[in-house]
Structure 1
Amino acid sequence: MQFYDFSKHCGKSITQFQSQFIMSRVLQTDMETHIGCMYLEGNGVIGYHQAIVPQLLLVVNGEGYVRNDKEGYIKVQAGDAVFWEQDEWHETKTVHGLTAIVIESVELNPSAFMPLQR
Protein backbone atom coordinates (compact mmCIF):
# COMPACT_ATOMS: atom_id res chain seq x y z
CA MET A 1 0.00 0.00 0.00
CA GLN A 2 1.42 3.38 -1.01
CA PHE A 3 0.06 6.86 -0.29
CA TYR A 4 0.21 9.78 -2.74
CA ASP A 5 -0.87 13.41 -2.62
CA PHE A 6 -3.08 14.92 -5.33
CA SER A 7 -4.18 17.95 -3.32
CA LYS A 8 -4.18 21.48 -4.73
CA HIS A 9 -0.70 22.35 -3.42
CA CYS A 10 0.78 19.56 -5.60
CA GLY A 11 -0.84 20.94 -8.75
CA LYS A 12 0.31 23.18 -11.54
CA SER A 13 -1.28 26.48 -12.56
CA ILE A 14 -2.93 26.23 -16.00
CA THR A 15 -3.36 29.46 -17.97
CA GLN A 16 -3.60 28.27 -21.59
CA PHE A 17 -6.79 29.30 -23.44
CA GLN A 18 -7.38 32.08 -20.88
CA SER A 19 -7.81 29.40 -18.19
CA GLN A 20 -7.22 30.01 -14.53
CA PHE A 21 -7.13 26.80 -12.49
CA ILE A 22 -4.85 24.29 -10.75
CA MET A 23 -4.40 20.79 -12.21
CA SER A 24 -3.06 17.94 -10.08
CA ARG A 25 -2.14 15.18 -12.51
CA VAL A 26 -2.91 11.66 -11.35
CA LEU A 27 -1.87 9.16 -14.03
CA GLN A 28 -1.84 8.23 -17.69
CA THR A 29 -2.57 4.85 -19.27
CA ASP A 30 -2.55 3.38 -22.76
CA MET A 31 -4.38 0.20 -21.78
CA GLU A 32 -7.98 -0.47 -20.74
CA THR A 33 -8.81 1.40 -17.55
CA HIS A 34 -11.91 1.33 -15.35
CA ILE A 35 -12.84 4.51 -13.48
CA GLY A 36 -15.70 4.85 -11.03
CA CYS A 37 -16.94 6.99 -8.17
CA MET A 38 -17.74 5.35 -4.83
CA TYR A 39 -20.10 6.92 -2.31
CA LEU A 40 -19.80 5.48 1.18
CA GLU A 41 -22.44 6.70 3.61
CA GLY A 42 -21.82 6.82 7.37
CA ASN A 43 -20.40 3.50 8.60
CA GLY A 44 -19.88 2.42 4.98
CA VAL A 45 -17.31 -0.17 3.99
CA ILE A 46 -15.63 -1.56 0.89
CA GLY A 47 -15.06 -5.07 2.23
CA TYR A 48 -11.73 -6.80 2.66
CA HIS A 49 -10.75 -8.33 -0.70
CA GLN A 50 -7.86 -8.81 -3.13
CA ALA A 51 -7.27 -6.28 -5.89
CA ILE A 52 -7.89 -8.01 -9.23
CA VAL A 53 -5.63 -5.45 -10.95
CA PRO A 54 -3.60 -2.51 -9.57
CA GLN A 55 -6.02 -0.05 -7.99
CA LEU A 56 -5.84 3.64 -7.09
CA LEU A 57 -8.32 5.18 -4.64
CA LEU A 58 -8.59 9.00 -4.78
CA VAL A 59 -10.42 10.41 -1.76
CA VAL A 60 -12.29 13.53 -2.92
CA ASN A 61 -14.59 14.17 0.06
CA GLY A 62 -14.86 13.04 3.66
CA GLU A 63 -12.50 10.79 5.54
CA GLY A 64 -12.06 7.17 6.42
CA TYR A 65 -9.57 4.38 7.03
CA VAL A 66 -7.74 1.93 4.77
CA ARG A 67 -5.71 -1.18 5.46
CA ASN A 68 -3.92 -4.00 3.73
CA ASP A 69 -2.83 -7.37 5.07
CA LYS A 70 0.42 -5.97 6.55
CA GLU A 71 -0.68 -2.77 8.28
CA GLY A 72 -3.52 -1.74 10.57
CA TYR A 73 -6.03 0.93 9.62
CA ILE A 74 -4.56 4.24 8.42
CA LYS A 75 -6.63 7.42 8.27
CA VAL A 76 -7.24 9.00 4.84
CA GLN A 77 -8.99 12.23 3.85
CA ALA A 78 -9.75 14.38 0.81
CA GLY A 79 -6.60 14.80 -1.29
CA ASP A 80 -5.13 11.42 -0.35
CA ALA A 81 -4.53 8.75 -2.98
CA VAL A 82 -4.01 5.13 -1.95
CA PHE A 83 -2.45 2.60 -4.33
CA TRP A 84 -2.77 -1.15 -4.02
CA GLU A 85 -0.85 -3.64 -6.18
CA GLN A 86 -2.55 -6.50 -7.98
CA ASP A 87 -3.51 -9.31 -5.54
CA GLU A 88 -2.98 -7.06 -2.50
CA TRP A 89 -5.64 -7.55 0.18
CA HIS A 90 -7.30 -4.29 1.25
CA GLU A 91 -10.32 -2.62 2.83
CA THR A 92 -11.74 0.91 3.09
CA LYS A 93 -14.20 2.09 5.73
CA THR A 94 -15.66 5.33 7.05
CA VAL A 95 -17.55 6.53 10.09
CA HIS A 96 -19.02 9.78 8.73
CA GLY A 97 -18.95 9.22 4.95
CA LEU A 98 -16.44 9.27 2.11
CA THR A 99 -16.51 9.85 -1.64
CA ALA A 100 -13.70 8.47 -3.77
CA ILE A 101 -12.75 7.92 -7.38
CA VAL A 102 -11.37 4.44 -8.03
CA ILE A 103 -9.12 3.71 -11.01
CA GLU A 104 -8.29 0.12 -11.95
CA SER A 105 -5.87 -0.95 -14.70
CA VAL A 106 -2.97 -3.31 -15.27
CA GLU A 107 -0.98 -0.22 -16.21
CA LEU A 108 -1.04 2.12 -13.22
CA ASN A 109 2.05 4.09 -12.24
CA PRO A 110 0.91 6.85 -9.88
CA SER A 111 4.47 7.78 -8.91
CA ALA A 112 4.98 9.17 -12.43
CA PHE A 113 2.68 12.12 -11.59
CA MET A 114 2.07 12.35 -7.83
CA PRO A 115 4.51 12.73 -4.96
CA LEU A 116 4.62 9.99 -2.35
CA GLN A 117 3.02 11.15 0.85
CA ARG A 118 4.30 8.72 3.49
Structure 2
Amino acid sequence: MHIYEFGPHQGKKIDRFDSKGLTVTGLLGSSGDTHLVCMHIEAGGTVGRHDATIEQLFMVVSGEGWVSGADGRRVPIRAGQAAFWESGESHASGSKVGMTVIVAESERLNLRLPQTPNAESEAAEVSTKEE
Protein backbone atom coordinates (compact mmCIF):
# COMPACT_ATOMS: atom_id res chain seq x y z
CA MET A 1 0.00 0.00 0.00
CA HIS A 2 1.07 3.58 -0.69
CA ILE A 3 -0.33 6.77 0.83
CA TYR A 4 -0.51 9.96 -1.25
CA GLU A 5 -1.38 13.55 -0.41
CA PHE A 6 -3.51 15.78 -2.61
CA GLY A 7 -4.35 18.69 -0.32
CA PRO A 8 -4.10 22.29 -1.53
CA HIS A 9 -0.45 22.50 -0.43
CA GLN A 10 0.36 19.77 -3.00
CA GLY A 11 -1.31 21.58 -5.89
CA LYS A 12 -0.63 24.42 -8.26
CA LYS A 13 -2.35 27.82 -8.13
CA ILE A 14 -4.31 28.38 -11.35
CA ASP A 15 -5.38 31.76 -12.75
CA ARG A 16 -6.18 30.67 -16.30
CA PHE A 17 -9.55 31.92 -17.61
CA ASP A 18 -9.48 34.61 -14.87
CA SER A 19 -9.87 31.93 -12.19
CA LYS A 20 -9.37 33.14 -8.62
CA GLY A 21 -8.62 31.20 -5.43
CA LEU A 22 -8.13 27.95 -7.35
CA THR A 23 -5.54 25.26 -6.61
CA VAL A 24 -5.41 22.09 -8.72
CA THR A 25 -3.67 18.83 -7.84
CA GLY A 26 -3.26 16.18 -10.53
CA LEU A 27 -4.41 12.76 -9.32
CA LEU A 28 -4.05 10.46 -12.30
CA GLY A 29 -3.78 10.24 -16.02
CA SER A 30 -3.92 7.30 -18.36
CA SER A 31 -2.34 6.23 -21.59
CA GLY A 32 -5.60 7.43 -23.15
CA ASP A 33 -7.48 10.63 -22.58
CA THR A 34 -8.72 10.09 -19.01
CA HIS A 35 -7.59 12.51 -16.30
CA LEU A 36 -8.53 13.01 -12.66
CA VAL A 37 -7.73 16.17 -10.68
CA CYS A 38 -8.62 17.63 -7.30
CA MET A 39 -9.70 21.29 -7.28
CA HIS A 40 -9.58 23.32 -4.10
CA ILE A 41 -11.73 26.42 -4.58
CA GLU A 42 -11.17 28.93 -1.77
CA ALA A 43 -13.97 30.98 -0.20
CA GLY A 44 -14.84 33.59 -2.82
CA GLY A 45 -12.95 31.62 -5.48
CA THR A 46 -14.01 30.94 -9.05
CA VAL A 47 -13.09 28.74 -11.97
CA GLY A 48 -13.41 31.14 -14.90
CA ARG A 49 -15.70 30.48 -17.85
CA HIS A 50 -14.18 28.29 -20.55
CA ASP A 51 -15.17 25.51 -22.94
CA ALA A 52 -14.73 21.89 -21.89
CA THR A 53 -12.18 20.26 -24.18
CA ILE A 54 -13.60 16.82 -23.35
CA GLU A 55 -16.45 15.54 -21.14
CA GLN A 56 -16.10 16.53 -17.49
CA LEU A 57 -17.69 15.27 -14.28
CA PHE A 58 -17.31 17.82 -11.43
CA MET A 59 -17.86 15.96 -8.12
CA VAL A 60 -18.10 18.06 -4.93
CA VAL A 61 -16.60 16.20 -1.96
CA SER A 62 -16.73 19.02 0.60
CA GLY A 63 -18.20 22.50 0.86
CA GLU A 64 -20.69 24.05 -1.51
CA GLY A 65 -20.89 26.55 -4.32
CA TRP A 66 -22.37 26.98 -7.77
CA VAL A 67 -21.88 25.70 -11.30
CA SER A 68 -23.07 27.05 -14.64
CA GLY A 69 -23.30 25.68 -18.13
CA ALA A 70 -23.67 27.27 -21.53
CA ASP A 71 -26.62 29.45 -20.47
CA GLY A 72 -24.55 31.10 -17.70
CA ARG A 73 -27.21 30.43 -15.06
CA ARG A 74 -25.74 29.57 -11.66
CA VAL A 75 -27.03 26.38 -10.08
CA PRO A 76 -26.18 25.57 -6.45
CA ILE A 77 -24.11 22.47 -5.79
CA ARG A 78 -22.97 20.84 -2.54
CA ALA A 79 -20.96 17.91 -1.23
CA GLY A 80 -22.33 14.66 -2.62
CA GLN A 81 -23.50 16.22 -5.90
CA ALA A 82 -21.89 16.32 -9.32
CA ALA A 83 -22.22 18.42 -12.48
CA PHE A 84 -21.57 17.05 -15.96
CA TRP A 85 -20.41 19.13 -18.92
CA GLU A 86 -20.27 17.85 -22.48
CA SER A 87 -17.27 18.38 -24.72
CA GLY A 88 -17.32 21.94 -26.04
CA GLU A 89 -19.79 23.18 -23.40
CA SER A 90 -19.00 26.58 -21.87
CA HIS A 91 -18.96 26.39 -18.07
CA ALA A 92 -17.79 28.03 -14.85
CA SER A 93 -18.00 27.43 -11.10
CA GLY A 94 -17.32 29.12 -7.80
CA SER A 95 -17.95 29.20 -4.08
CA LYS A 96 -18.63 31.77 -1.37
CA VAL A 97 -17.56 29.37 1.41
CA GLY A 98 -15.04 27.13 -0.38
CA MET A 99 -15.32 23.65 -1.83
CA THR A 100 -13.17 20.68 -2.76
CA VAL A 101 -13.97 18.96 -6.04
CA ILE A 102 -12.74 15.88 -7.88
CA VAL A 103 -12.95 16.33 -11.66
CA ALA A 104 -12.90 13.37 -14.05
CA GLU A 105 -12.24 14.16 -17.72
CA SER A 106 -12.41 11.82 -20.69
CA GLU A 107 -13.54 11.71 -24.32
CA ARG A 108 -16.42 9.52 -23.21
CA LEU A 109 -17.59 9.22 -19.61
CA ASN A 110 -20.11 6.46 -18.92
CA LEU A 111 -22.12 7.98 -16.07
CA ARG A 112 -23.87 5.68 -13.63
CA LEU A 113 -25.34 8.40 -11.42
CA PRO A 114 -29.01 9.28 -10.98
CA GLN A 115 -29.74 12.83 -12.17
CA THR A 116 -30.93 15.25 -9.47
CA PRO A 117 -34.61 15.90 -10.19
CA ASN A 118 -34.81 19.35 -8.55
CA ALA A 119 -31.63 20.94 -9.95
CA GLU A 120 -33.66 23.26 -12.18
CA SER A 121 -35.76 24.61 -9.29
CA GLU A 122 -32.66 25.10 -7.13
CA ALA A 123 -31.21 27.35 -9.84
CA ALA A 124 -33.70 30.05 -8.86
CA GLU A 125 -31.99 30.31 -5.46
CA VAL A 126 -28.73 31.49 -6.98
CA SER A 127 -28.01 34.66 -8.94
CA THR A 128 -28.74 34.19 -12.62
CA LYS A 129 -26.00 36.58 -13.65
CA GLU A 130 -22.33 35.75 -13.43
CA GLU A 131 -20.24 38.48 -11.88
Q: Is the structural similarity TM-score above 0.5?
A: yes
Residue 44 of structure 2 aligns to a residue whose secondary structure is: coil
Q: Which residue of 1 aligns with 2:92?
A: 91
- The one-letter code matched in structure 2 to 1:47 is G
Shift of 1:107: 1.5
Q: Which residue of 2 aligns with 1:49?
A: 50
The CA deviation string for residues 70-111 of structure 1, in whole angstroms up to 9 with x for no partner, is 25100000000100000000000000100000010001121x
Shift of 1:69: 2.0
Residue 44 of structure 1 aligns to a residue whose secondary structure is: strand
What runs of 5+ residues in structure 1 fail to find an aligned partner? Answer: 1-30
- The one-letter code matched in structure 2 to 1:116 is Q
**Identical pairs, percent:** 40
Mapped partners of 1:84, 1:68: distance in 2: 7
Q: Which residue of 2 aligns with 1:32?
A: 33
CA RMSD of aligned residues (A): 1.4
* TM-score of the pair, normalised by structure 2: 0.63
State the 4+ residue runs in structure 1 displaced beyond 4 angstroms. none
Q: How many residues align?
A: 87
Mapped partners of 1:32, 1:95: distance in 2: 32
Matches within 5 A, 1:62-73: 62-73=63-74
* TM-score of the pair, normalised by structure 1: 0.70
Residue 82 of structure 1 aligns to a residue whose secondary structure is: strand
